[in-house]
A and B are shown apart, each in its own frame.
Chain A
Amino acid sequence: MQFLKIIPTPFVLLVLWMTAAVPMQAARQAPASQPRTAPPAAQDEYVPLSELPPDEQLPAVPLVFIAYGLIWLAVLVYVITIWRRQSAVEKELQVLKRQLRS
């Protein structure tokens, strides 16, 4: 379990990388504009989301960014809680073993 002690620093870097990388990579790939096709007859009264005025459109980049950020934040928080619990247990174990030996 000594191996675990080196995880957090690279893990934090990985979290930062993962949070930013997917939205950035994906946004770079986004097409400049969606191809326009005439809607089917039954739907011609609806306005496609992509044709809404800019102030009424919901940008996707923040949502993707928040989603990936939350995923890594959740995993990071869980790893930190395990790490803290393990450190506390290991300390307590050492103290008890010393007490039992004496």
Chain B
Amino acid sequence: MLGRAFPILVTVAIACFGAAPFLIGAAPYESTMGLVQKIFYFHAPSGMTMFVGACVAGCASAAYLFTGKTSADRIAAAAVELTVLFGAIVLMTGPLWGRKAWGVWWQWDARLTSSLLLWMMFVACLLVRKYGGPGSAKLAAAVALFGMANVPFVYISVNVWRTVHPKTTVVPSLGAGMRGPFWFCVAAFLLLFLVLLAVRVRLAEQQSELETLYLELADRPATS
């Protein structure tokens, strides 16, 4: 998928994640939450990557549904897996931060519940693809489309409803010392997403090649 750029991207991603602890460590200490706020530098970028993954999965699914291109289906399948991965990271790190900052592991408020629902939709998408039988790719594509449609609601939920979760205005209002490390981590997570997407799409291509070869092998006695 990325061709010659792939090794360069992997190297840059590793370098970014190697440098991230120094930047996060050097970022100003948040006065009210203290040390636990450092989770923010990986929690929020994971959330943003989950949204990107959901949008890539939704767009690729739409392309597959309307054009029937199998390459779009492969990208959708890869993006769905990555959305589940980054969603799991968000849902695991959030409660660890919340336990210290809010005093509770979980709160059934709009942002947390809608994020969980978004993640469950993409888990459902994976399950449909794996156990749905013939035609499951199209059904999974439809589920991914609904998942993508959910993204704006999850994003604005903190501004529309009263929640314990910080609003979307937190990121633009970050102090100068926090803004740099935060956007650096966002870039690192997006790079990681791109690298993993390329690897997963390559795997899907090989699986598709394998299926073609099996069909060729099955047709052999009939043609000879």
Contacts and interface: CB of A to CB of B under 8 A. Distances in A.
A and B bound? Answer: yes
Interface of A: 1, 3-4, 7, 10-11, 14, 17-18, 21-31, 34, 58, 60-61, 63-64, 66-68, 70-71, 74-75, 78-79, 82, 85-86, 89-90, 92-93, 96-97, 99-100
A18 B99 contact: no
A79 B14 CA distance: 14
Given A71-B89, A74-B88, 12 more contacts: A3-B6, A25-B21, A26-B24, A30-B35, A34-B34, A60-B35, A63-B96, A70-B92, A78-B85, A79-B196, A96-B210, A96-B214
Interface of B: 6-7, 10, 14, 17-18, 20-22, 24-26, 29, 31, 34-36, 38-39, 41-43, 46, 81, 85, 88-89, 92-93, 96-97, 99-100, 192, 196, 199-200, 202-203, 206-207, 209-210, 213-214, 216-217, 220
A90 B213 CA distance: 12
Contacts of B217: 96, 99-100
A29 to B, nearest CB: 6
Nearest to A31: B29
Contacts of B207: 89
Nearest to B23: A25
A28 B93 contact: no
B97 A78 contact: no
A71 B46 contact: yes
Contacts of B99: 58, 63
A3 B10 contact: yes
A86 to B, nearest CB: 5
A25 B22 contact: yes
Contacts of A26: 24-25, 35, 38
Contacts of A78: 81, 85, 196
A51 B22 CA distance: 30
